[in-house]
Amino acid sequence: MISEYFDVKIRVIFPRITKPLPEKDNAQINAVGNFNYEPPKTVASTSDVIADNDIFIPKTNKEKVENLKNTLSDLENKFEKILKYINKKCKHIVLEYDPNLTKNEALAAAEAELFGYASGAITYDMYEQTVRFQEKIDRYISHLSIENNGRLESVA
Amino acid sequence: MALFIYKYNEDNSEFIEISKNGAGTSPIQTTHNGTDGQVVEEKLYLKNDDQSLFFTNVELSATPPKMVRVGDINYPEAFINYKIIIQDEQPTESEWLAVESGNKVNFETIGTNQAADLSYKPFWIQVGIAPGTRVQTIDGVSLYLSAEANTIGG
């Protein structure tokens, strides 16, 4: 007499209400990589030339560091603005997948790890949360690395 | 043991072997709406992979038997409804209703003393989750297969 127990895994989820990706958005996503970019045609005006002459050129090291810090801060602010704009435009995008399919197993597991369950739908909000979370992890690891003179052995 | 359970992957038209004895690498997997409760039906296949053997008294059952309680003190009514039917076509609602949860099915023999039967034997399982079941993954259930292996020509 022979006997075997075959594995069964039953997942219980709270599904979110989602809507399929509209054709227009789908087409836009699929077209990524094939778009044609043409830089805006601008002509330098007299005022631009004058403004260029007025650009602050740091002389001392202290001034250079201060200037770098301000530039970085400006860039961060601009990046935040761009991100907010993208977030606004992409709010409605939902990636739907079937968590039952073997090919989606890794995606389902990742969603369950981060959000407690695999709903089969990843909203842009969820994507943004994941990106923010990754940023925090990166900063934390960098911080620990600095504290440990570049070593990460103590990061568990 | 040369008897295996397979699921069919429509994406690549391949049969995938179900893992066994708690390995968990490729389980029979169902996903349910815990808020409203949901019944999921899946077609599976039993197959002999050994040309030198035929099998008698081939039985398949859902374990643990009967209604499996999955709830905790907050959800005492949550149970799994777990049934098996041997047939190729998807069973109708009335056919499922005629079967009790935790039932045992009998494939009788696979192959004969003269030749092995290496074909895929289809069967269906139905897994039901009651409304109000909390979010969780349940892996304490399995399909129990028992059979007698016999050597062809023996």
Residue ranges of the domains in chain A?
46-90, 92-156
A7·B148 Cβ contact <8 A? no
pTM of full prediction above 0.80? no
Residue B40's pLDDT band (cuts 50, 70, 90): very high
Distance between B36 CA and the closest CA of chain A, angstroms = 9
User: Length of chain B, please?
Assistant: 154
Q: Within 10 Å of residue B35's Cβ, how many Cβ atoms? A: 15
Structural element, H or E, at residue B6: strand B3-9
User: What would the pLDDT profile of A35-80 be if each residue is shown by its tens digit?
Assistant: 445 555 555 554 554 455 556 676 778 787 888 888 888 888 888 8
- Would you give the distance in Å from CA A149 to the centre of its chain? 29
User: What would the pLDDT profile of B73-114 be if each residue is shown by its tens digit?
Assistant: 333 334 678 889 999 999 999 999 998 888 899 998 999 999
Comparison of pLDDT for A82 and A102, the residue scoring more? A82
Percent of chain B with pLDDT over 90: 55
pLDDT at site B6: 96
Distance between B143 CA and the closest CA of chain A, angstroms = 5
- A1 → chain B, closest CA residue: B148
B19·A14 Cβ contact <8 A? no
Q: What CA–CA distance (Å, rounded) separates B100 from B61?
A: 11
Q: What CA–CA distance (Å, rounded) separates B78 from B129?
A: 7
Please report residues of B whose CB lies closer than 8 A to that of A1.
146-148
Q: What is the mean pLDDT of chain A?
A: 74
* Mean pLDDT computed over B11-16: 89
CATH architecture of B3-21+33-151: Sandwich (2.60)
Q: Within 10 Å of residue A47's Cβ, how many Cβ atoms? A: 8
DSSP code of residue A103: G
Structural element, H or E, at residue A53: helix A46-53
CA dist A139 → A16, A142, A145 (Å): 31, 5, 10
Size of the A and B interface in Cβ pairs below 8 Å: 121
Please report residues of B whose CB lies closer than 8 A to that of A103.
11
* Mean pLDDT computed over B117-143: 87
Peptide bond into B64 cis (omega under 30): yes
pLDDT at site A141: 79
DSSP code of residue B92: P
B31·A116 Cβ contact <8 A? no
Q: Within 10 Å of residue B39's Cβ, how many Cβ atoms? A: 14
Comparison of pLDDT for B92 and A32, the residue scoring more? B92
Chain B interface mutation, best of A2, A5, A8, highest count of B Cβ atoms under 10 Å: A8
A10·B35 Cβ contact <8 A? no
pLDDT at site A25: 67
Cβ–Cβ under 8 Å, residues A136 and A99: no
Percent of chain A with pLDDT over 90: 3
Distance between A87 CA and the closest CA of chain B, angstroms = 29
Q: Is residue A98 classed as helix, strand or coil in its secondary structure?
A: coil
Q: What CA–CA distance (Å, rounded) separates A118 from A101?
A: 12
Residue A27's pLDDT band (cuts 50, 70, 90): low
Distance between A3 CA and the closest CA of chain B, angstroms = 4
User: What would the pLDDT profile of A86-102 be if each residue is shown by its tens digit?
Assistant: 877 777 788 888 887 87
pLDDT at site A5: 92
pLDDT at site A20: 58
Please report residues of A whose CB lies closer than 8 A to that of B69.
none
Chain B interface mutation, best of A3, A7, A117, highest count of B Cβ atoms under 10 Å: A7
Q: What is the mean pLDDT of chain B?
A: 85
Torsion angle of the four alpha carbons B11, B14, B15, B21, in this order, in degrees rounded to the nearest 10: -70
